Chain A
Amino acid sequence: MELFGEGLAWLSDPANWTDPRNGILLRLWEHISLSAVALGLAVAIGLPLGLWIGHTGRGSGAVIAIANIGRAVPSVGWLGLVFPITLVILGRGGLGFIPAVIALTLLGIPPIVTNTFAGMREVDPDLIEAGRGMGMTARQVVRRVEVPVALPVILAGVRVSAVQIVATATLAAVVGGGTLGDFIIQGIDVRALDRVVGAALLVALLAIGTELLFSLIERLLVSPGIRAGMSSVRDDAAQLLPSEPVPSGH
């Protein structure tokens, strides 16, 4: 128990925050910037892919494959898979930020694709029909009907992805990517458990904060009419069973 006290003492020493080479502020910045870039890339790749497959209904087999791969490869596995490749291609530049950001992007894509796809497929076909009947083009149907209705499920996917990325960024330290995980992983090696526990507390807060931030974004972005129509159980089921968004024969 006294380890918690030591962890808090480590956190409350300002010198530990401001050290320019190994300070908490530096590691926190590495953690957040790495996560933000990876999430941005994952959204930039996963969202259009999910929208396209969801809208056309083509390639749903690919979505199930992506979901299953995403689930089966352990988070630390992505770092391990990417690292030797970047090292061979980039030499010393293959250490640090680059393998970390590639691994985190790959890790972040599956929840976004599967949820976007699932959300789009769940849109009531009558609504799409009504949109078309009003003379909307395919693009307008996607933008004004399908995306707004699917938005809660899509954003839940982005939230899951964000939390996973922030969590796994902790492990980027092992490929030289810094982040708050650096204190934990190096600290365990040299048995400096005050740092380890202090940094773990920060990492936990950061991940929970990410979850709350993205829940808030969902609340702000989802149209009130759609929010009112959703029961919480349905929302939960949509995030939890992303591997079975489409029963076969759909």
Chain B
Amino acid sequence: MNEGEPFIRFDWIADNLDAIGQRLGEHLLMVIPAVLIGFVASFALALLARRFRRTYGPIIAVTGTLYAVPSLALFVLLIPFTGLTLVTGIIALVLYTLLILVRNIVVGLDGVPPDVVEAANGMGYSSSQRFWRVELPIATPVIIAGLRIATVTTIGLVAITTFIGLGGLGYLIINSGVRRFFPTSIYVGVLLCVLLAVIADVSLAWLQRRLTPWARSRVAG
């Protein structure tokens, strides 16, 4: 950092809007597929765990261990399989969503009161009708609570992918920020990460309220 240079240089921001937008785009192009794939994979694992209860413990143990592995290490350990590519980034990000999502989907579905299930059975619902029309809607607030945590976590983790050359907002923080002693770029990167997380979180909370208007008072945000 040069003597007397201000912390935030607005002229740099104005001159580099295109580059900043490009990094933001790269960031989103990792977050969105990772969360979507993670959600589908978690749903499958959660259904498996509910059908065969014995698999729940091992699924949580394995996903929990993966969750403890530092992101930089996990990205690097996938390099031997998939190289320094976007696929490496997405696989690692998907793995990180599994613990949170599987657990919330299972806990949400398990939380459906037995007499509600009984009532659905009494009304002659088949098990798939019961799942889609009764159990899943009741579990939705807990599932979306998990989705919010997973999405916000993923947005933060994508910032690490710059270390394996994938760009994203981490590029602004590390490559053009910390490494060049240039605070403006750091703060722009961090601020955009935070904004992205807040927007994603608020949008999902809104989605949850729209999908389950009856649950408004029972599950906090």
Contact in complex: A207, B110 (CB < 8 Å): no
Which residues does chain B contribute within 8 Å of A3, judged by CB atoms?
79-80
Taking a contact as CB atoms closer than 8 A, the residue among B72, B80, B153, B165 that contacts A4 in the complex is: B80
Q: Are B110 and A167 in contact (CB under 8 A)?
A: no
Check A84/B74 contact, CB under 8 A, given A3-B80, A71-B152, A72-B152: no
Residue B221, interface by CB 8 Å: yes
B220 contact set on A, CB distance < 8 A: 244, 246-248
Residue A88 CB within 8 A of the other chain: yes
A196 interface hit (Cβ, 8 Å) = yes
Task: Say whether A208 contacts B174, CB under 8 Å.
Answer: no
CA distance A167 to B153 in the complex (A): 14
* Contacting pair A211 B80 (CB below 8 A): no
- Distance between B59 CB and nearest chain A CB, rounded to angstroms: 13
Contact A204 B73 (CB under 8 A): yes
Which of A80, A184, A207 lies in contact with B186, CB distance below 8 A? A80
Per-position 1/0 for A115-141, Cβ under 8 A of B: 000000000000000000000000000
Across the interface, do A75 and B160 meet the contact criterion of CB distance under 8 Å?
yes
Q: Closest Cβ of chain A: how far from B202's Cβ, in Å?
A: 11
CB distance from A172 to the nearest CB of B (A): 11
Complex contacts, A73 vs chain B, CB 8 Å? 156, 190, 193-194
Asked if B70 and A80 sit within 8 Å, CB to CB, the answer is no
Docked-complex contact B146 and A240, CB < 8 angstroms:
yes
- A203 contacts B by Cβ under 8 Å: yes
Inter-chain contact A77/B159, CB cutoff 8 Å? yes
Instruction: Give the chain B neighbours of A83 by CB distance below 8 A.
Output: 178, 186
Do A200 and B77 touch (CB < 8 A)?
yes
Closest Cβ neighbor of B70 among chain A residues = A167
Question: Is A217 interfacial (CB-CB < 8 Å)?
Answer: no
- Interchain residue pairs with CB less than 8 A apart (9): A68-B201, A72-B198, A80-B177, A84-B7, A84-B181, A88-B1, A171-B72, A184-B73, A197-B79
B residues within 8 Å of A by Cβ? 1, 7, 60, 64-65, 68-74, 76-77, 79-81, 100, 103-104, 107, 110, 145-146, 149, 152-153, 155-157, 159-160, 163-165, 170, 173-174, 177-179, 181, 183, 186-187, 189-190, 193-194, 197-198, 201, 219-221
Please name 7 further chain A to chain B contacts, defined as beta carbons within 8 Å, in addition to the given A170-B72, A207-B69, sorted by A numbering: A74-B193, A77-B159, A80-B187, A84-B183, A87-B181, A211-B64, A236-B103
